[in-house]
Structure 1
Amino acid sequence: MSRFLFVAPPLAGHVYAAGAVASALAERGHDVAWAGPETTLRRMLGDGMTVYSTGMRPYRGQRDRGFRAVRSLWEGFVLPYATFTLPAVEKALAAFGPDVVAADQHALAGAVAAHRHGVRWASLAPQSMELTRPFHALPKVEEWIRRGIDNAGLSIGDGADPRFSPHLVLAFTSRALTGAHDFPPHYALVGPALGTRAAAPDFPWDALDPARRAVLVTMGTLAEDVARDFYPRMVGALRALEGRVQAVVAAPPGAVPDPPPGTIVLPQVPVLALLPRLAAVVCHAGLNTVCEALAHGVPLVVAPIKHDQPVTAAQVVAAGAGLRVRFGRSGADELAAALTAVLDEPGYAAAAGRVRDSFAAAGGAPAAASHLERLAASS
């Protein structure tokens, strides 16, 4: 049996994907440990695991958009989080002695520590932004990111990029969603890694109305500070569809003003358990939410805000599995029209079904675990 050390940032979409793969490895008898903020990891994944705590660096919400959002993500989180956690990750690696480190692309400390200690590592790509190089046509942006990595002391030498392992890159998507990209042979597109959640929030299942089509509205945990203007417009759209649609809205208390009767508003919802009952999802185009929906063949209305979300939104539209609306400017009428279209026009559900089938064929968490096993065996 082999030993695997997982390093992921304390963000739900990143931790849940890595956690599903870690669980698959543990079920096969391998030794698995984590390096990260212990309280956050245990809250998301449960208590039955080994955690080498790195502590937590506070992360502020962002109102920036476009390249400014990319800049604030890297300067405000990715780079300082990596430099803050690197000493603890190196200690974890020395104490645990892994055969392979599985490092999220936004947890650079995992890749850097593995490189320094001569341990093979795999890059985990839970987003499309890094995977498909959206700034390829903007070399100054790519150079700015590379320079930031170098200036933070996170370079791994030989011109290599700590976001992209030379051994294995695991991407939680499929070609049906990414489109035709010429990925290197050590890239494995395994589809979404969906596992059990340690503590699914309570949900009033009896409140779902079987006579109406259920729709989930969620704008992600990192967008709460900028999404408050979106919710009133979404409420207007839901009122226009009140007789045929029942919305489940994942939003902070007080963020959704005067919703239509029967609307369920909760800070957190059990998304995976809810998806089989949904007819559509309205979201910010975060890859985790998009892939969870498409893994169940549920079409989408996507309103991207920042970071990788415009890239993912474009992929959803290109796949025919949903419609894109303007997050900052779409009014209630436009939102209602988009939601009506994905609910009523069968092509969107059919395309979502094709992506679902491609995800199933890619293998998900068990396939990712197999790739990591082969990497460990080659060490």
Structure 2
Amino acid sequence: MARIGFLCLSATGHLNPTMALAKALQDRGHEPVFFNMIDNARKITELGLGFVPYGLTEYPEGTLKLIFEKISKLKGIEGFQYFMERMLVQAQVSFRELPQSITEAKIDALVIDQLFPGGATVAQHLGLLYASLANALAVNHEDGVPPPTLPWGYEETAAAETRNAAGWKQIAQAFTPWRECDNAQRALWDLEPYNDVLEDSFSPFAQIANQPQAFDLPRKNLPESFYYAGPLLHAAARQPLQFPWGQLDGRPLIYASMGTLQNGLDWAFRAIVAACVGLDAQLVLSLGGGVLTSTELGELPANAIVVPYAPQPEILERAALCITHAGLNTALESLTYGVPMVAIPVTNDQPGVAARIRYTQTGEVIALDQLTAEDLREQIVKVLDDPAYRERALQLKRDFASERPLVRACEIIESEVLSKIAASEADMARI
């Protein structure tokens, strides 16, 4: 059995699937230890998982709330720029503190978020084997598919491939400050420099996607170490939430959430509420714990239930439709319960998730800058009235279930990472 360190971003969309995987590995006898911000200590330790804080100078208690409040109001390029600012700070903190913390915790191997800054450099400096975990859409470069930050659909044409290649080049240029930051530290530690700060940092042994192959665009050039696992969901990794279940009246249920990051766009929430007025359905709107309150949305229609947070799996189990910002976890949870979607992507990899919703024909997509209550209502009615959307979502539900995502992810880590450590130790013992 191994002590496995986990390096992941602090946002809920990254933390929840990582905690689910850690809990599953713990169930198999391993000892997971998270290295994360102090604001996530309670969430992690309540699951019985190990926790070591880092970056207390840059990230004292209460910092995450301030970061999330700022993110909640950003979209598009502004959202990406703020993401890059935060990643550069976090990389410096990682280089300064994680080598000592990981060594003192006697970690045998690491699981590193694909987007955790500096994680692979730290692992290589310490001589530790690691698995990469794609909590967001996998960002493995392939000219046959568009980058996940761009809203382009999939096309098998030379023109599309040229367009995609230009998009990937644009992404690489945007990540230049991150690459330079990493390479400066790699030079200090006598490590080979990165050409591509993302691609070159991924594990050569195991790259695990919190995404099933059935919910991806056709890929042809993934490395042999890449594995689709599927939605990493563990019941113990979700906090119980109160909900007024008695207010549900049996009408078709529309669940709407803009996630826990991009949830400060008040006009988008108002458009969602207005779009559902008069429908023979009930709306459950989760505000995602952001800066907005239900009173700021004005007078609510009788068919709307607005809550700060909703118990998402339990609501989706009853839902006929999900209106989503196209966060990967919400999209995958919707399909886990066979629920079609109307997606309103905001930033980061959400345009790519929306492109996969469109490609799998499990929902419709509205660009944020084109969102109106009228257009949203039209898409809601379209998806609800056409049973084909539901049938395709139910097919993906069946595909997901057959994959056994958590079991598969654990087996990959054990066979492709931990077994190599055991073999190396055995060789050393024979010398």
Are 1:270 and 2:305 counterparts? no
Question: 1:115 matched to which residue of 2?
Answer: 124
3-state DSSP class of the match of 2:127?
Answer: coil
Q: What is aligned with 1:98?
A: 107
- Residue pairs, 1:137-156, within 5 angstroms: 137-138=166-167, 139-152=169-182, 153=184, 155=186
Structure 2 gaps, min length 5: 148-163, 422-431
In structure 2, relative to structure 1, the CA distance for the partners of 1:270 and 1:62 (3 Å cut) is closer
In structure 2, C-alpha distance between the alignment counterparts of 1:290 and 1:18, rounded to whole Å: 17
Query: In structure 2, what is the equivalent of residue 378 of structure 1?
Result: 420
More moved, 133-142 vs 312-321:
133-142
Label 1:236 to 1:215 Cα distance change in 2 as closer, same or farther (>3 A): same
Matched, 1:175 2:226: no
Q: 1:132 Cα shift?
A: 5.7
User: Equivalent residue for 2:272?
Assistant: 234
Contact 2:321 2:339 in 1 (8 A): yes
Matched AA of 1:3: R
**Aligned equivalent of 2:248, options 184, 205, 208:** 208
Q: Residue 344 and residue 164 in structure 1: after superposition, are their counterparts in 2 closer, same or farther (change >3 A)?
A: same
Give the one of 341, 351, 355 matched to 2:382. Answer: 341
Give unmatched runs, 5+ long, in structure 1. Answer: none
- TM-superposed CA distance for 1:100, in Å, is 1.6
Counterpart contact for 1:100–1:372, Cα < 8 Å = no
The residue number in structure 1 matching 2:84 is 74
In the alignment, is residue 248 of structure 1 matched against residue 284 of structure 2?
yes
What SS does the aligned partner of 1:9 have? coil
Q: What's the offset of the Cα at 1:149?
A: 2.4
The count of corresponding residues between Structure 1 and Structure 2 is: 374
1:106 alignment partner, SS class: coil
Cα distance in 1, alignment partners of residues 404 and 192 from structure 2: 33
- Aligned-residue offset at 1:47: 5.2
Q: Give the greater-gyration-radius structure (CA).
A: 2
Distance 1:84 1:158 in 2: 19
* Percent of aligned positions that are identical: 25
Q: Is the 8 A contact 1:4 1:30 kept in 2?
A: yes
Residues 17 and 126, structure 1, Cα contact 8 Å, conserved in 2: yes
Q: Alignment RMSD, CA only?
A: 2.1
Take 1:67 and 1:236, find their aligned partners in 2: how far apart are those partners?
28
1:154–1:205 distance in 2 versus 1, CA, 3 Å: farther
Deviation at 1:93, TM superposition (A): 1.3
- C-alpha contact (below 8 Å) 1:218/1:284 kept by paired residues: yes
* 1:354 matched residue in structure 2: 395
Q: Distance in 1 between matches of 2:45 and 2:249?
A: 31
Q: CA deviation at 1:157?
A: 2.5
AA aligned to 1:128 is L
Cα deviation, residue 12, structure 1: 0.6
Aligned residue in 2 for 1:217: 256
Check whether the contact 2:175–2:197 (CA below 8 A) recurs between aligned residues.
Answer: no
SS across alignment from 1:188: strand
Seen in structure 2, the aligned counterparts of structure 1 residues 198 and 88 have a Cα distance that, compared at 3 Å, is farther
Q: Does the aligned pair in 1 maintain the 2:94–2:117 contact within 8 Å?
A: no
- The amino acid across from 1:230 in the alignment is A
Partner-residue secondary structure (3-state), 1:223: coil
- SS of 1:4's equivalent in the other structure is strand
Shift in CA distance, 366/129, structure 1 to aligned 2, threshold 3 Å: closer
TM-score (ref. length: structure 1): 0.92
- Give yes or no for the alignment of 1:157 onto 2:192: yes
Q: Relative to 1, partners in 2 of residues 1:173 and 1:129: Cα closer, same or farther, differing over 3 Å?
A: closer
Structure-2 change in CA distance of 1:82 and 1:301 (3 Å): same
Which position in structure 1 is the counterpart of 2:16?
16
Aligned partner of 1:184 in structure 2 is 223
2:178, 2:197 within 8 Å by CA — same for their partners in 1?
no
Between 1:167-176 and 1:196-205, the stretch displaced more is 196-205
Higher mean C-alpha displacement, 295-304 vs 124-133: 124-133
Worse-matched range after superposition: 199-208 or 187-196: 199-208
Deviations 1:138-181 (A, max 9, x none): 31431331442223545563536455222211101122211211
Secondary structure at the counterpart of residue 209 of structure 1: coil
